[in-house]
Every structure is written in C-alpha cells, then in structure tokens.
A and B are shown apart, each in its own frame.
Chain A
Amino acid sequence: MSAIRRFIDRRLGRGEAAITVPVLDGPLLPNAGLDEAAEVALLTYADNLVVTGKGLVASSGPRVIRVETGEEIAAFDADVSALAYGKGMLAVGLDGKGVKLRGGAHDGKSFATPKNPSALAFLDADTLLVTEGASQRRATDWRRDLMERGQSGALWRLNLATGEAVRVLGGLAWAGGVAATGSQKVWVSESWRHRVLSVDLGTGKAEPVLEHLPAYPARIAPAVEAGFWLSFFSVRNQLVEFILREPAYCKRMLAEVPEPFWMAPALASGLSFSEPMQGSQLRRMGVTKPFAETRSYGLVLQCSPQMKPLRSFHSRADGQAHGCVSAVEQGDDLFVASKGHGKILRLDGAARGI
C-alpha cells in the first residue's frame, strides 16, 4: 500500500516527493541585518567564534586566532571544526582527528572518538558535549553528506575526568550544533531534516522542538538574556530539494561534477562562472535580485529559551555575508562569522534583547 502511495506521490510531487520549501516569514522575514553589520575582521574561512578569557577568538582552517589583534593563539595539524570555552578550558574539535583540550583542569587531554566533531558545548566542568556531523565523513564534507542524504550523525558525551566517551544518540541527519540548557535536556540541531531536537541526556530520547525550518540549522549558541542564537549553513532551495529526489542525476553529479560546481547548498556562491545558475539569479538591469533563488545565504536566528523563533538577521541573495555558521555574544554585541565570505561581523546591541 505504501509502495503504491509512494509511486503516486512521485508522479504528482506530493508527500515525500513534495519539493515545497517553507517561506521566510514571521520572525524569519528577510532583512539586510548581516549586510549592514560592522565588519570587525577579514578572516578566510572564519568559523567557531568563542569568547575566552583572552577575548574573542575564531578559527581559520587549522589556526585559532584572536579576533581583536589577529594574533595566532594555537595551530593544529587538522582543520579546527569546533571550539568551546568554559572554566578556563578551550575544547578544540579537529576535523578527522577528534577532540583536544587546552588549559584548565584537563589540559592536554584528547579524545580520538568522536572523530569528526562538528560542534562542542560544555555541560559542566567535567563533561563536554560533542556532535558529530557524520560518523565517516569530515565536517568539511557536509555538502556531500547533505546530497547523499546521510544520516549517521551523533551526539556524544565526553567525561573529561575519566576519558570515557558515550554516544548518546545516533542516526541523525547531520548533527550540526549543540547547546546546554541547564537541565538534562540539551538542544541538538539536525541539519538535513531542518529541525532542532531536544535530547534527554539520561535516556537518549529526542523530540523535535523546532521543525520545518526554511534553512539548514548549524550551531547553537546561548544568548545571555536566556535564549539561543541559531546559525545556518544556507537556505533550502527548491531545485536542491528536487535534485535530492532525483537519485540518478544526483549520483552522477556527485561523481562527475567537481564539488564547487555542484547544484547544492554552499557557504558562498557566484565565485566562479562554472557554478550552476538558476533563472532568477540572472543580473537584470545591473541588479541582482535579493529575493532570487540562491544556494548560499546568511542567516542568524534568535530563539526563546523554549526554542521559539523571535527575530533574525539576514544576508540575502545579493548580500556579502553568506554561510554564517557561527555566532556568539560578547557584552551587548553579537558577533557573527561569515565563513562563506571570510569575515567577522559585529551586530551592535543585538545581544541586549529585543
């Protein structure tokens, strides 16, 4: 019966085969907030903003850099794919190499599993939460995992004192971010299913709290005013949704087309003339339409403590701050790293509340 329904759905584009994308509306109504934000620093592959005792730091490839001065704090033998700071400790996720700790009580400790961390969060002084995007795929390979509809992401709990690593929850379609809430329940963003989960660390049970997002959620950062900042890889695109349901084309594209030229979401687009173009992206009368279909987008969303969307900052199709996969508060200001366009932005007063 369900096979028949799937067959009909595929013919008519209903149910699972529907390629409709939720519109950006309500708290997600587009604006140019990220494009109008102050540019603090230019940093290639700017990512993983964290406020430490020494101020704001960010990662750029294998290096960790102090944003204010541009001085290099640390360098590693692999790309830094996640950072977290707490109790004088800097936890560093290394792409394909696991997690390392610098400073504080557990200085020098390292974990080989999970191998491909995508986000880190301290639960308490001895416990670190780690998300792994996909078990067999590096964090930088997120586009391939998305297009192959991967679902091998996991949430891990690391006991820093004993060195024990426990997989709390697996089978996630890319676990892209994690945040502690002060209780046994933590938030985990499941990127390719466009939702945020509430995961009970005790039982490992998950339930969706924020669903049907029009974009792929990445990291979750706490807001001081109670609440959270959700950052996103990119918005969903109707054509991408369609290609995800076209296995023959999708498979050949992944195999035959160089990755930068895939018709797939990206952190930045329009960099090469070999990138695919969609109809509405054509510059007409010297103008790129901000509302054009796009593969890359800049979006940061503030949510309430209960994970209800409150307000958002955007960089639209014509914007220059795409791929904002990391955000952090410092004082009254919100700092956002645009990995796609390699810069760090400051939204003055954004952290003061609405």
Chain B
Amino acid sequence: MSLSESLVRLRYRVLPDHVLGELLTKKWVDSAIPFAALVLVIAIFAPIVPRFFQFGTISLLSGEMAELGLVVLGLTIVMISGGIDLSVGSTFALAVTTALYTMNVMGLSLGGGLAATLGVGAVCGAINGFMVGILRMRAFLTTLVTLIIFRSVFDIVFPQISTDIVMNYPESAAWDFLGMGHVLGLPTPFWVLAAIALILHIVLSRGRYGWRLLAVGGARRSAHNAGINVRWTVFSAYVICSVLVALGGFHFAARIGSAASDIGAGMELQALTATVLGGISLGGGRGSVAKALMGALFVLILSTSLLALAIPGPVNALILGLVLVTAVFLDVRWVKNRHKLLRAVYISPTFNKLPPAISTTEGPLVPNDRLRASEPIGLGIMDGAEDAIFDREGNLYTGSRHGDIMRWFGPDYTRYEIFAHTGGAPQGMAFDAEGNLAVCVGGMGLYQVSPQGEVTLLTAETNRSWTSIADDSVMKLADDCDILPDGRIIFSEATVRFEMHDWYADALESRGNGRLIVYDPKTKTTRTVLSNLIFPNGVCTSYDGESVLFAESWACRINRYYYAGPKKGRLERVIEGLPGYPDNINRASDGTYWLALMGSRTPALDLSLEMPSFRRRMARRVSQDAWLMPNLNTGCVLKFNEKGEILESFWDLGGTRHPMITSMREHRGTLYLCGIFNNRMGALKLPGADQDWCGVDSYWGKPT
C-alpha cells in the first residue's frame, strides 16, 4: 500500500464526513443562524457597553424582554400561519391606554383591568382576523391599514384622557407587584413570559392547534384538503397575536405607569426584525418559540446597547432596519438552498478498496449461459420479487413492489392469489417452526404473516447507538432474515442512512452503514448484534447450529457470525474478493449454500472506490441516471460450502432473462430465481439435486 493511499484511508477513517449531512437533517439547525447572530451581538456589545453583564442590567433587560417577547411571540403565531401583522404597535398603544385608563382612572381591580385590556386586544385581533382570515384580504395591506386606523383611534382618544391618567394612581398592590415586583431576582412579567412561552412551545410543537397552524402556513390548499378549517385557523392566529400584544401592553403600563403619545410607534419594525432574524420564515409554516425568543433577545440587546452608547434614535432605527433586510435576505437564501446544501453534503463516499476478485477466467466461476435454460414464472405479473420461499405444500411465496405477498400455486406456478398485504416492499422471507412467515419489509421493519395471511408487526425499532447523530433506532431497510433454531429471528438492515429507493446512493458511499439485528419473539426484544457492516444483505443460518452466514454486498464478501457455541459473538470471513456483489444466501439440498451475485464488479468502479473524493464530486455534479454503478445487468448464482469454497456457478451473460438476481431458492429439484427489478421469476431444473428436498424441512425437520 502506497503512502498516499494510506493517507486517504486514514483521512476517511478519522474524519467522518457523513456527520455533517446528518447534522443538517436535524430540525434545529434552522436555529443555527439566529443563535450565531445572538452570540455575535453579545460578543460585539459586551466589551463596549458599560455594565453589560451586571445583574441590574440583565434584570432590567428581562423586564423589557417580557413586553417585546410577548409581541414577538404573537407575531410569530401570525407568521407561522402564513400571514403578517403590522398593526402590533398600534394595538400595543391601545392596550396600554386601556390598561392605564381602567386601572388609574376607573380604578378597576387587576383582574378587571387585565380583562378589559385583553378584550381590546382581542377586538383588534378579531378585526384583523376577520378581514384576512374570513374575507381573505391581503395580510400585508390589511394590517397596514389597521395600523393606521388603530393609531388614529389612539391619537383621538389619548389626548382626552391623558391628563386623567397622569392625575390618578391605582391603589393596587397586585398592580405594583406586576410592575415593580421581582421573583427570584427577576421581574414578575418575565416569569409570565416564560410561562406563556412554555405553553406556546408545547402547543406549537406537540399540540393539535400548533400542527394545524404550521400546516396552514406551509400549504393552505393542502391544509384545506386535509380537512383543516383554514379560515378559522388564520382568524384565531390574529386574535391570539393581538391578545398577546395586549398582555405585553398591560405589562408595559404596569411598569411605566404612564404613557406618551409615541408609545408603540416603530414596534412593528422591532418585532418583525426579531421574528425574521429568529428564522420565522416570511413564507409561513416554519418557526418555533425558541427562535422567536432568540430573535427578540437579539433586537433588545441591540437596541438597549445602542441606547446605552447614546446613539440617537433615528440611527438606532436605521441599524434595526439594516438588520431586518439582512435577516430577510438570509431567510430567503436559507429556505431556498437548505435542501440543496443537504443534498450536496449528505452523500459522503468513503475509502473502500476491495481485495482482488476471484478469477472468472478459470475455475468454478467461469461465465456460462446455464441460467438461460430457466423457465419463466409469472412473466409480466411479477414486479419486485426480491426473495421467494416455499412451504411444504409446494406453494411459492414472493413479494411485490405494491406491498403484497403473492402465493403462487404449484406445481406449475401459473395461478396466484394475494396472500397478504404489508404495505411496504417485502424482501427476505423465512418460515418458522409453526409455519409463520417472517418477512423483512423495506421501509417498515420485520413482520410476521400467519398461515391465515394475517400480518403483524414484530419489530420496527432497535436500540439506538450511542454515537449516532441521526436517530438510527428506526429501521430504514430491513433486508433479509432467517430464523435460528431457538426461534429468534436474525435479520440484516442494509443501511441506516438511506431510504430503500436510494439504495444506489449507499453503494456509492460504500460505508459500513448497515447492521445485523436479532429479534427474540419470546421476550419481544430487539437488539443490534453487529453494526458498521457494508450493506449487509443475505442472511442464512448455518447447518452447524451455532452460526449464521451473511453477505456484505458492497464489500463483496461473506461473513460468519457465531450466535452460540464456543466462538459466540465472533465474526469470521468466509469468502473475500467475490467477483460480484453478493445478495441473498439460501440453503442447498446437498448441505451447501446458494449465493446470488446481483451484479459484477467492474474495474472502473473498483478504481473509484479507492477515490472517495471523486465519487463525492460525481454524486454532486452528475445526474443519478449517469452515476457509475456496479454492473447489475450480469450476475450469477453460485454454490459454496461451509468452508467458503466456491463449487459451481450459473450465469446469464448480458442479463437477457435474469439481470440483477437478488435471490434464489431450491425446492424439490428446481432452482427458483428472483430479481427485484425483473418482470419474472425463473425456474431452472437441477437434475442432480435431491428431488424431494424442501427448505422448511431442512430447518425444522420432516413433519411427523
């Protein structure tokens, strides 16, 4: 091995590129930008603003945070629903006026004042909501108009009552506590905000209402088609928004105790900057409470810091405006390009130099056309027969792309019935001692079909590995299963990183993305026994009663795993350097094993396996249709014994009848061939084989 090759090998072992792609699939990466912005603004202002980190400053800040935070949360709800509310500042002003008038002048109790204030907010919100949600007017223009109307109402009313407000002061301890009081060192309103934020977070992320809101914002028509009352949802969003704004106003009134004529002016700019910067998409359907609060904190720190630095108000507003423009730009670019970025970095091939291939020019693997003698079964009906199995009565069971398990009736296999429907893509199958069929269903997990055709889920989850970034407890591609003598089901999961239809992306990666899992029906537990396998595929229990054979497709090798006996838990190589990509393994009548090679290795692809960066660029730049892939048009079926010696092979050069052979099953002197993308199965007579042999008997003995 050359030095440069060792370096490449080391680099791909030490630096796991695939982690980056998995990080990007996380929902919380959306918060990365607002979080970075928050850190940035703190880093900038902490050194230059006096007393930035002192408790008094933070306490004061948290009081203001309560007011702005409530407004931002309200706006967030409207924006998630796909709208916008520019009238928050005017509503805020009306709310403050109401609060002061009811408390100071009318002398209502705290509850009464609060109810009146929230009521005014609700009315403002209902006006907005009625026009936008029910009458379906444009949110932007409508709320721009209500911004002016509410502000005008405020301008008309406020001068008439301002003197009264200033002259009176409520005799309410609760009111004082709300305005001045502290709990655990922080202002009371802050705790109110914290409680509301927590409730909102739960509603938005876990509640029915939150999900509906996100659905309406994401796609109105789809939400409507899904039975969601879009009009009412939008209406309610505006009402909630204005009520939260009014609550913010109430806090403000309690804290300041008086009002000026410019109250709430420009608040929409602050709130909008906070939401957009926080990553609440202007297009709707994306956003969370945490993001909104991060945005609000950013804006608050920015504006109070600028104030502390004695920067004039207009300049302050200008800076805020520039931040808003930047945030809108980032929001658009991020939403538009996030999936592109994910696509570009998700596929991360690794170094996978294969050992030299076993010769196909001499020995048992010399190509021939023996498979061309096969008789087709279900020509034109089969679609997705990845594996097949026979019961003692000679019925043939196989899967289809539509999620069915078909039962073909012997001996000629011209008639069939739908035996069961799984809903996924049935792959490997095995019969247990009671005649139940264990089936691996791609995208779903391990299932069991009773002799009556009832489908039950055995397992779809295994233990999550500690080091995984993406959640790998759910099964993406259960591939082939077999049943141990004690009844436990051992099965392979080919890849944890890709869905079934993206299997060739896994081939391109050639990383150990797969695992071997054992399900114990007695305890109903699932446990991963081996992981980091390179597309583990066929599984077959050995005749020795203590090990299973399994294939690693992209590594071109067959392994043996000991589940019992003195070598329990050990892994051994049985065959290395296969000239093709091994798929299913099944028992043969003479005490050996059948192995399907789904395709052949090609020197051009083998070379690229040593050059991961070449494959990564190929995945990014070249269309999937043109990717370099294993030569799946020519495969073969071969026979090997317990020692791993290859005994003979059956080929179909060019794949005229059987391209991409994924499995084969011997039954009463005939070898049946399967191909997941073929429109048929094949039956090849084996004159020398035991004409009475049935696989079920080989596992569970002849029926007595």
Contact = CB atoms under 8 A, between A and B. Distances in A.
B629 A278 contact: yes
**Most chain A CB atoms below 10 A, which of B603, B617, B633, B655:** B603
Given A257-B607, A286-B680, A277 B626 contact: no
A237 interface: yes
Given A246-B617, A257-B604, A285-B679, A273 B625 contact: no
Contacts of A273: 367, 600, 602, 631, 633-634, 653-654
Contacts of B89: none
Interface residues of A, number: 34
A46 B654 CA distance: 23
A277 B633 contact: yes
A261 B604 contact: yes
Given A283-B655, A285-B678, A19 B622 contact: yes
A284 interface: yes
A270 B633 contact: yes
B626 A280 contact: yes
A262 B604 contact: yes
A335 to B, nearest CB: 28
A347 B614 CA distance: 43
B396 interface: no
Contacts of A238: 622-623, 626
Interface in B482-529: 504
Interface string B603-622: 11101100100100110111
The A contact surface, by secondary structure, is loop
Contact of B625 (A246, A274, A278, A284): A278
A68 to B, nearest CB: 32
Interface string A256-285: 111001110000001001111111111111
Contacts, number: 108
B633 A246 contact: no
Nearest to A257: B603
Contacts of A261: 602-604
Contacts of A285: 383, 677-679
A283 B659 contact: yes
A278 B627 contact: yes
Given A270-B633, A277-B602, A278-B629, A252 B653 contact: no
B628 interface: yes
Interface residues of B, number: 40
Contacts of A278: 625-629
A253 interface: yes
A56 interface: no
A145 interface: no
Contacts of B620: 13
Contact of B630 (A237, A249, A277, A283): A277
Contacts of A280: 625-626
B626 A282 contact: no
B632 A237 contact: no
B205 interface: no
A286 B678 contact: yes
B625 A277 contact: no
Contact of B621 (A13, A256, A282): A13
**Most chain A CB atoms below 10 A, which of B383, B604, B607, B654:** B604
B624 interface: yes
B439 to A, nearest CB: 23
A248 B617 CA distance: 13
Contact of B626 (A258, A275, A279, A283): A279
A239 B626 CA distance: 6
A256 B607 contact: yes
Contact of B614 (A249, A283, A293): A249
A44 to B, nearest CB: 19
A107 B601 CA distance: 52
A249 B626 contact: no
A30 B634 CA distance: 27
B276 interface: no
Interface string B586-600: 000000000000011
B193 interface: no
Contacts of A275: 602, 631
B697 to A, nearest CB: 34
B84 interface: no
Nearest to A284: B677
B289 interface: no
A292 interface: yes
B608 A249 contact: yes
B443 to A, nearest CB: 19
A14 to B, nearest CB: 11
A262 B678 CA distance: 27
A242 interface: yes
Interface string B629-643: 111111000000000
B660 interface: yes
Contacts of A262: 604
A94 B624 CA distance: 42
Contact of B624 (A13, A249, A279): A279
A261 B604 CA distance: 7
A13 B621 CA distance: 7
B355 to A, nearest CB: 16
B679 A292 contact: no
Contacts of B504: 279
Contacts of A19: 621-622
A263 B654 CA distance: 18
B578 to A, nearest CB: 13
Given A270-B654, A282-B633, A286-B680, A276 B602 contact: yes
A147 to B, nearest CB: 12
Contact of B604 (A263, A283, A284): A263
B604 A286 contact: no
B628 A276 contact: yes
Nearest to A277: B631
Given A252-B607, A257-B603, A239 B679 contact: no
Given A277-B630, A277-B633, A282 B660 contact: yes
Contact of A249 (B611, B623, B632, B655): B611
Given A238-B623, A248-B614, A273-B367, 6 more contacts: A249-B607, A256-B607, A273-B631, A277-B630, A277-B633, A282-B632
9 contacts: A239-B622, A273-B602, A274-B603, A276-B602, A278-B625, A279-B626, A285-B677, A286-B678, A293-B625
Interface of B: 367, 383, 504, 599-605, 607-608, 611, 614, 617-618, 620-634, 653-655, 659-660, 677-680
User: What are the 10 tightest A-B residue pairs by CB atom distance, in nearest-first order?
Assistant: A273-B634, A280-B625, A276-B604, A283-B659, A285-B679, A273-B600, A277-B631, A257-B603, A284-B677, A238-B626
